[in-house]
Chains A and B, each alone.
Chain A
Amino acid sequence: MTTNNAEELLSAYSPEDVLGYAKPVKTSLIIKGKLSRGIVEEISRAKKEPGWMLRLRLRALELFEKLPTPNWVIGLEELDLEELAYYVRPDVKEPAVTYEDLPPEIRDYYDKLGIPEMEAKLLSGITFQFESETVYHKAKETLEKKGVIMLPMEEAVIKYPDLVKQYFSKIYPIADHKFAALHYALWSGGAFVYIPKGVKVTEPIEAFFLIGQSLEGQFEHSLIIADENSYLHFIEGCSAPMLKRYSFHDGAVELYAHGGSAIKFTTIQNWSKNVVNFNNKRGIAEENARIDWIEGGLGSRITYTYPSSILKGANSSSSSIVIQMSKGPYVKDSGSKMYHLAPNTRSKIINKSISVDGGVNIYRGLVKINKGAVKARSHVECQSLILDDHSYAYTYPHNQVEEPSAIITHEATTGRIGEEQLFYLRQRSLTEQEATSLIAIGFIEDVMKDMPFEYVNILRKVIEIEFSKVGGLG
């Protein structure tokens, strides 16, 4: 494949094409400086938090200072926390309930991303975060009628302290690693969703996160609780315009699926090329519950994301389907983790990556089957496509079995586009570029068919349209 064609492939999802350069947006509060107890207290004060949350933040700060930088982290040389604004409040007093209430420059981002149309067609609720705060939040009446609680995270802390306390930081522990501790010290924004027993939310809920300027930190925290026999599909979207320097995203997602419930969590990560992205995601599944992670990693300078499921209850299950694309001197370090703690638990991991133009894709996964997880089953598949001779694909799977009746199977392949595939398509009068594009789309398509959801179809169409510019496939 030629470099030009490869560039065409990866420019398809470039957010720069959509959002353009960052525009100035009026802010009402910026907190920055050397990270300290004072900074954390200032953030907590600004958010008018209860004391227990401030104590949690300060404990996290202590841990951040004590914990070493993980050895597996690479490419963060430029990251200087003292340069960053830890908290940026856009000049919006309360989350808007209509688009018209939003400042025009923020609304412009919204429109370009097609979010109003998406909300009208597909979603039962949406929360839109700009910088550190929620600027737009809306839930359809049907949610309220069903007893679903959907709030910006900080509002939930105040309105439902007992419910939040029960789960917050219990699924993704503060001490998990240094950047998890940093997240808890500085968190702001995110969504809280509680689905009552037996309630099925048929239309998805979406949270959209946007970083608007260079040298900002975004630390949103989303907590989703599905009570017994309930169902929810939650979508997380991330984007940023072109930034002159880097920005830092260190978000977290916690899912709790009670007995018999199911949560599907979809992430479309489309940060611009100057965003360093940590995304800490973990879920716990009780008996007969299910957690599905779906992730499309398109943008960012470097991404660290490892969706994890703890299969705590018997017969619980989880899947993780991840597509990562890395173009240019950028790194996608991703992987899924499945912890089987109970009998008859099931997990499946599918990871597909495309590397081009010096891009690096890393799969770093873990399947652990504990003693007592009788007849647990797990299957892992990693497929990497490298489109030129100077890109990279690395696979680091860890398969750990402590239960003799359990089975883990794993397979991985790394390769190029086969000559015979190209030959076959060329014989059918496609040019080499057209054939290459078609094969690359097919490679992605294979995973996308497991995403039975309109939002992802739209994403696929975007990629196809972009291909049509070079290959005439549209």
Chain B
Amino acid sequence: MSSVKSVGLDKPLTNLKVSKLRLLADIIPVQKYGDSPTIKHYTNWSKLLRIREAERALKSTKGALEGILRFSLVLKPEDIIIDSASTTYMSPLKNTRDFKWKIPVENKLQAIHAYKWYRGASLRLSGESDASIYLSPGEGYVGYHLEINIDPNSRANITLILDNSSQSSLHSSSTLINVGSNSQVSITTLERSRGATYHYKYVKLGNNSRVESRILASGGEATRFREDYLLEGPKASTSIRGSSVSKADERLDLIINTIHRAPGTISELKTRGIVSGCSTVAHRGVAKVYKNAEWSSVDVESFLYITSDKARAYSVPVLEVDTGIVESAKHSTAVMNIPSEIEFYLMQRGLSRNDIIKLISIGLLEIAAANLELGELGKIYL
């Protein structure tokens, strides 16, 4: 089926030479259309590509490490900071051949990223460990590539902060996380963009492993924020909480896919978003149960609150089930204004409508960043 291809897991292209990838980036479409006779796309591809064209002549300049430090975030010595100027506490990799994983190339931006990224890190976590990664690009195109391998029987907390809020440039990042069998991993991902952002995260879960993922995507002129959770080992499970906050004329396409490829796998995805100003937000995702993923369970729930006359909110929860032997496969979504009873309750306590929107935004951030002490950094997400 065409939509299966769109998940983009089966076309590794890392063995291609840079010249071929460059050529591919020119000819490959911005995305494959195929899931609807009516809808073309939700990502603001034209903006992403316009920014890319404008930046072709630019060279990367000094990064925005200072931008992070300006806030009261307390950095630990073992934390990893990647910016466009320096790299610390990591093993820099020069080209994709150093990575064990293959990069799926399913659209133009992914192809551009595949040959043009130039900051990367490969981590291996075992036992009980924490890793915090801060990505803060400077002006001009910056592509980041991260590979994190978590050994079997480990427990890990990973924090990934993508702070693209200081520059209106194009940034891309690919994060590949391989979770070993019987491991338990908590992942917190916070993204704030001002310009154009292409984010891709790919999490592969081994036997009996568990991933709890919390996500906040916020803003940007054109943001495509995609995460794939591949439940490849039997009895692997994941619980994902995705949130988005958008305002002004921001445009965000949040895509979270859960792919069940082994028996007894469980995924639970809940997303919430608040859409205000003139912003446009799409919450999308494919929950796919392959034939051999018998007795699996999929549960998707999505709420988008549209709060302004000029805002637009789209919800596209796709469900693909290839077997009748499924424990449960369901989704429910709603797109609406802030429920009147909530609004009434808060207004009775003296809050204005703007206060209510802000309060909900803070709530979404707190859900996503429950494990973090963000301090002033939190402000950039609201």
Contacts and interface: CB of A to CB of B under 8 A. Distances in A.
Nearest to A364: B36
Interface string A403-423: 111111111111110000000
Contacts of A413: 328-330
B334 interface: yes
B53 interface: no
Contacts of B328: 413, 415
A31 to B, nearest CB: 29
A389 B1 contact: no
B311 interface: yes
B350 interface: no
B334 A398 contact: no
Contact of A384 (B307, B315, B321): B321
Contacts of B322: 392
B36 A398 contact: yes
Interface string B146-173: 0000000000000000000000000000
A428 B322 CA distance: 32
A265 to B, nearest CB: 20
Contacts of A177: 37
Contacts of B330: 411-415
Contact of B306 (A1, A337, A404, A410): A404
B47 interface: no
Contacts of A415: 324, 326, 328-330
Contact of A395 (B308, B314, B318, B323): B318
B257 to A, nearest CB: 14
B43 to A, nearest CB: 14
B311 A404 contact: yes
B294 to A, nearest CB: 7
A187 B3 CA distance: 32
Given A409-B334, A410-B334, A72 B36 contact: yes
Contacts of B321: 384, 386, 392-394, 414
A391 interface: yes
A388 interface: yes
Contacts of B336: 401, 406-409
B315 A399 contact: yes
Nearest to B283: A399
B117 to A, nearest CB: 29
B335 A401 contact: yes
B144 to A, nearest CB: 32
Nearest to A416: B324
B316 A397 contact: yes
Nearest to A333: B37
B312 interface: yes
A408 B316 CA distance: 12
B334 to A, nearest CB: 5
A7 to B, nearest CB: 15
Interface in A172-198: 177
A120 interface: no
Given A71-B2, A395-B319, A400 B312 contact: yes
Contacts of B312: 400-402
A387 interface: yes
Contacts of A70: 37
A415 B297 CA distance: 10
A397 B34 CA distance: 13
Interface residues of A, number: 47
Contact of B37 (A306, A386, A393): A306
Interface in A67-122: 70-72, 74
A306 B37 CA distance: 10
Contact of A388 (B1, B38, B320, B324): B324
B322 to A, nearest CB: 5
Interface string B335-369: 11100000000000000000000000000000000
Interface string B133-150: 000000000000000000
Given A398-B36, A414-B321, A405 B337 contact: yes
B308 A404 contact: yes
A396 B337 contact: no
B39 A366 contact: yes
B335 A399 contact: yes
B332 interface: yes
Nearest to A371: B309
B39 A390 contact: no
A391 B307 CA distance: 41
Contacts of A371: 309
Interface string A9-20: 000000000000
Contacts of A394: 1, 3, 318-321
Nearest to B318: A396
A254 to B, nearest CB: 18
Interface in A129-171: none
B333 interface: yes
Contacts of A411: 330-333
Given A392-B322, A395-B318, A407 B334 contact: yes
Output the residue of B294, B318, B321, B337 with the most chain A CB within 10 A.
Answer: B321
A404 B153 CA distance: 48
Interface string B1-33: 111000000000000000000000000000011
Interface in A275-322: 306
Nearest to B316: A398
Contacts of B35: 72, 364, 396
Interface string B211-244: 0000000000000000000000000000000000
Nearest to B311: A404
Output the residue of A362, A386, A412, A413 with the most chain B CB within 10 A.
Answer: A412
Nearest to A405: B337
A441 to B, nearest CB: 17
Contacts of A396: 3, 35-36, 316, 318
A405 B308 CA distance: 9
B38 A386 contact: no
B120 interface: no
B325 interface: yes
B125 interface: no
Given A399-B333, A409-B333, A414-B321, A72 B314 contact: no
B324 A387 contact: yes
Given A393-B320, A398-B38, A404-B311, 13 more contacts: A74-B2, A177-B37, A386-B326, A389-B323, A389-B325, A390-B323, A397-B317, A400-B312, A404-B309, A408-B315, A409-B333, A412-B331, A416-B324
Interface of A: 1, 70-72, 74, 177, 306, 337, 355, 360, 362, 364, 366, 371, 384-416
Interface of B: 1-3, 32-39, 291, 294, 304, 306-309, 311-326, 328-337
Of all A-B residue pairs in the complex, the 10 with the closest CB atoms, nearest first, are A386-B324, A407-B336, A414-B329, A411-B332, A395-B319, A413-B330, A401-B335, A399-B315, A416-B324, A414-B321
